[in-house]
Amino acid sequence: MAGNVREFTDANFQAEVLDSAEPVLVDFWAPWCGPCKMLTPTIEELANDYAGKVRVGKMNTDENPQVATQHHISAIPTVMLFKGGQVVDKFVGVNPKERFAAAIDKQVS
Active site residues: 33, 36
CB 28 within 8 A of CB 40: no
Which of 102, 94, 93, 1 has its CA nearest to residue 42? 94
* In 1-109, alpha helices (H): 13, 34-49, 65-70, 97-108
